[in-house]
Structure 1
Amino acid sequence: MTYQHPLAYLLGIEGLALLRAWVGDFDKDFVDRRLAEVRRLLDTEALAGHDGVLVDRGDTRTGYRQWAASYDAPRNSLFDLDEPVMHQIIDALPPGDALDAACGTGRYAGYLAGRGHRVVAMDSSPDMLAQARARVPSAELLLGDLHHLPLPDDCVDLVVTGLALSHVPSLDPVMAEFARVLRPGGHLAISDAHHEIVFRGSNPHALGPNGEPGLVASYRHTPGAFLRAALPAGLQVRRCEEPGRPTLDTPAPPAPAELTVSGWHEWPWSLLSLVPEATSAAWAVPGVIVWLFELPEQPHLTQR
């Protein structure tokens, strides 16, 4: 079980903002406002007197079953960050046999089909696959797992996966599976939630049977973790982007006059609105990471 307390979260956001000032991103006035806001948070009974919430670790299939019908509406803000780069990558590659791994509602499967690819789309969630089937009727839809792709060796020219790998505890077996199904000369395009926003609480909910608080298991994969998993599988880096860093001079709205705490189901987003200036500073990090790997025609020989 995870214990989440609204005051603890807000103090953490203030701390991240203050560290930004410590290294020179903000001035003394900013620091003074942060310290005053911390005192205000500590003096607010709705926060200081809150009991906190025990949160269970829900499973991915449950979370995405609950999320499937509303996954695309309202539009996930991370789509606006990863799609321009991912579309650019896909557009530069010739049509062929493509796998959309962990396809969700089929947003990349649909784009691949529109670009002339023969598409196989796979997901572990039957509910997500139902959405993808309605969206991309021309694709072959498969129920499966990233750790054991239901495909033979050397069968696709392109593997695409979007915003899924933060839900696997280790990238090593997944990268090995991607490399297994790729033909020599094939490409792997990945977008994923950046480890910095996962650290700040960007995690899908997976509620219990009676609505009990629960979160889909989410893991923080650094760029180094991607490389340590990809390179031994024979994949070589062709591109890496980290879209979504807000500008430092974007003005933040004023904090609300009264600090109230919403229910857990709206955390952490409702909490962030209580400290908008600190949030603007603490969340000035990339939203996604996008990778392009290639499986070379000839194995890469490491010099000894």
Structure 2
Amino acid sequence: MIYEHPLAYVIGLQGIALLQGFIGEHDRDFVEARLAEVRELLDNDQLSKAVEVTPVSTVDGYRTWSATYDDPANAAFAIDVPIIAKIVEDLPAGVALDAACGTGRYAEILSGLGHRVIGVDSSPEMLDLARKRLPDSEFLEGTLHHLPVDEVDLIVCGLALTHNPDLGPIFAEFARVLKPGGHLVIADIHPDGVLRGSIPTVRGPRGEPHRLVTYRHSMGDYLRASLQAGFTLLGCEEPQRATMLDKAEEPGPWDVWPWSLAALVPEAAYAATGPQMVIWHFQAVTLHTM
């Protein structure tokens, strides 16, 4: 069970901003304003009602989320897709695996570049949507730990590793499936983004608050797992989209936490903003012949 307290969240944002001020990233006026805001927040009765949230599996969570997953309001799509597309457009066409393919967002890009696309996902509902999007491509049910494919030239995987507690077995499975010299492109929620509450929200059958089970992996966790599996790092991007929020006067419903909570303290939230995603580009070890 996750205990989400709105006051704790906004004070946490203030804390990040104040730590930045302590090392000289903000001036005295900024620091004094944050301290004054903290005093006001402590007296705000609207921030006293916590919510207990149940983590749910990706299969259960995406069953609910699939109906609205491709909604343009899903802000992550504006960040990851252009970067993924730029990386893969320079790679030769071949057999491409969209691992944890969801509704086929990446599969559509790969198909347009001439790849023979295979999509794999653990959610039947998401796979149904992917098949409607790309009826001529192959979509299979499976997990990142047991991919039902062999010998592919390229793997892309988006917004999925953060739902797993251990990255090692997943990178090992990627290495098993990928041909020597093949490419692996991963987009995931940045560990700083997870820390700031970028965790998918869904409602249960009786309206219960749920979040998809999510783990905060450090950048080093990705590197250690990939290197141990025999990959070479070719690139890493940490995109962020920092915009000043319009100030809100109320915390808003739980369904839009933490974004509505951040709007209560827009200056602190803006200062605390960091990378939202991390995008990795790896290459499998190339076998050399005598």
> In structure 2, what is the equivalent of residue 117 of structure 1?
115
The answer to whether the 8 A contact 1:6-1:52 is kept is yes
Deviates more, 1:128-137 or 1:237-246: 237-246
Match of 2:256 among 266, 269, 272: 266
Deviations along 1:144-181, whole A, 9 cap, x unmatched? 101111123xx100001111111111110100000000
Alignment TM-score, normalising by the size of structure 2: 0.95
1:133 is paired with a residue of what secondary structure?
Answer: helix
> In structure 1, what is the equivalent of residue 181 of structure 2?
185
What letter corresponds to residue 270 of structure 2 in structure 1?
S
The answer to whether the 8 A contact 1:100-1:160 is kept is yes
> In structure 1, what is the equivalent of residue 160 of structure 2?
164
**Identity across aligned pairs (percent)?**
52
Paired with 2:117 and 2:18, the residues of 1 have a C-alpha distance of 48
Alignment TM-score, normalising by the size of structure 1: 0.91
> In structure 2, what is the equivalent of residue 255 of structure 1?
247
Deviations along 1:242-275, whole A, 9 cap, x unmatched? 11163xxx6x46634xx32322222111111111
Unmatched 5+ stretches in structure 2:
none
Paired with 1:293 and 1:189, the residues of 2 have a C-alpha distance of 6
> In structure 2, what is the equivalent of residue 10 of structure 1?
10
Q: How does 1:223-302 map to 2 (within 5 A)?
A: 223-244=219-240, 246=242, 252=244, 255-256=247-248, 259-283=249-273, 285-298=274-287
Match of 2:146 among 136, 141, 148: 148
> In structure 2, what is the equivalent of residue 136 of structure 1?
134
After TM superposition, give the deviation of residue 139 of structure 1 in Å.
Answer: 1.0
The answer to whether the 8 A contact 2:54-2:209 is kept is yes
What letter corresponds to residue 294 of structure 1 in structure 2?
Q
Paired with 1:32 and 1:105, the residues of 2 have a C-alpha distance of 47
> In structure 2, what is the equivalent of residue 197 of structure 1?
193
What letter corresponds to residue 247 of structure 2 in structure 1?
A
Q: State the number of aligned residues.
A: 288
The answer to whether the 8 A contact 1:184-1:295 is kept is yes
Alignment CA distance shift 1:20-1:104 (3 Å) = same
Paired with 2:107 and 2:177, the residues of 1 have a C-alpha distance of 17
> In structure 2, what is the equivalent of residue 302 of structure 1?
none
Is 1:95 aligned to 2:72, yes or no?
no
The answer to whether the 8 A contact 1:103-1:123 is kept is yes
The answer to whether the 8 A contact 2:17-2:271 is kept is yes
What letter corresponds to residue 182 of structure 1 in structure 2?
L
Deviations along 1:56-114, whole A, 9 cap, x unmatched? 11111111111112111124222222222211110110000000000011010011000
